Structure 1
Amino acid sequence: GSAGNDGNVIRPEDKQNFTLFLAELRRQMKAHDQRDQLTAFLPAAAAKIDAGFEVRKVFDQLDFATVQGYDLHGPWENRTGHQANLFTDRRDPNEVKFSVDQTVRDYIARGAPKSKIVIGVPA
């Protein structure tokens, strides 16, 4: 995207090229205007994080990232689950247990600096 517009350019199976894309985008943005910020909206699921992102390298290029804090469960599953729970519920019957807390911990464990994580919340 440009001028505040979202871009949908991520191909999760191509994480090295996504990192290179961000580095090149950052380089060109700096050449244009030092005040420009590079941000991204990133998924909550650890499997998607691992499949699609070199977390430490991606965050090196970003000013901040908004991490998905909602749609943790939904109609694509065969069981009901909380859509945006802050903490993991031990009683959650779903095989994979999601929470905003766990998502943030997953990013930090993979090298994301705490100061660059913004949590997206449902309206």
Structure 2
Amino acid sequence: GSPNVLEGNYVDTLNDRANFKALLAEFRTQLNAYGAQTGRDYLLSAFLPANPADITAGGWNDPAIFNSLDYGNVQGYDLHGAWEPTLTGHQGNLYDDPADPRAADRRFSVNKAVTAYTSAGVPARKLGLGLAM
């Protein structure tokens, strides 16, 4: 979800972080129980947003959720797109573009996204990177 209140992307910042953490813990509990029945291990992964404001608002950078997740894939694409009718830019830039006219908190990059996770204490070994093809 997004605090930017895009349709379908609303974040309840008062409750979503705790609810999300509880949901992932329940998924992990259920997968472990099912694995005990089948004799197999099951991985739990998640798509991780790239916008630092969304990362924080949704609780994605809480290291405790990675006790439930085996890994997360950080969005490394769609950093620009058709929703910006007067702006073009790299779809999956590794670093911030100093020529980007948007405010600093609206400029996205792979580096900025990954740093938002690791600086909050998420282990780098638990992060993958999704790339555009």
TM-score normalised by L of structure 2: 0.78
- After the TM superposition, which of the residue ranges 21-30 and 72-81 deviates more from structure 2? 72-81
CA deviation after TM superposition for structure 1 residue 29, in Å: 0.8
* Corresponding position: 1:69 with 2:76: yes
State the one-letter code of the partner of 2:76.
G
Asked which structure has the greater CA Rg, the reply is 2
Match of 1:15 among 9, 14, 17: 17
2:41 is matched with 35
What 5-or-longer segments of structure 2 have no aligned partner?
A: 1-8
2:4 is matched with none
CA deviation after TM superposition for structure 1 residue 11, in Å: 6.6
**Pair 45,91 (structure 1): closer, same or farther in 2 beyond 3 Å:** same
1:51 is matched with 57
Q: State the number of aligned residues.
A: 114
In percent, how many aligned pairs have the same letter? 44
Contact kept, 8 Å, 2:77 with 2:130, in 1: the verdict is yes
1:89 is matched with 97
Contact kept, 8 Å, 1:16 with 1:54, in 2: the verdict is no
Partner-residue secondary structure (3-state), 1:24: helix
What 5-or-longer segments of structure 1 have no aligned partner?
A: 1-9
1-structure distance, mates of 2:19, 2:96:
33
Q: Deviations over 1:42-77 (max 9, x none)?
A: 110011111112521222211000010001122222
1:111 is matched with 121
- After the TM superposition, which of the residue ranges 90-99 and 17-26 deviates more from structure 2? 90-99
RMSD over equivalenced CA pairs, Å = 1.7
1:6 is matched with none
1-structure distance, mates of 2:33, 2:26:
11
Contact kept, 8 Å, 2:76 with 2:130, in 1: the verdict is yes
**Pair 109,17 (structure 1): closer, same or farther in 2 beyond 3 Å:** same
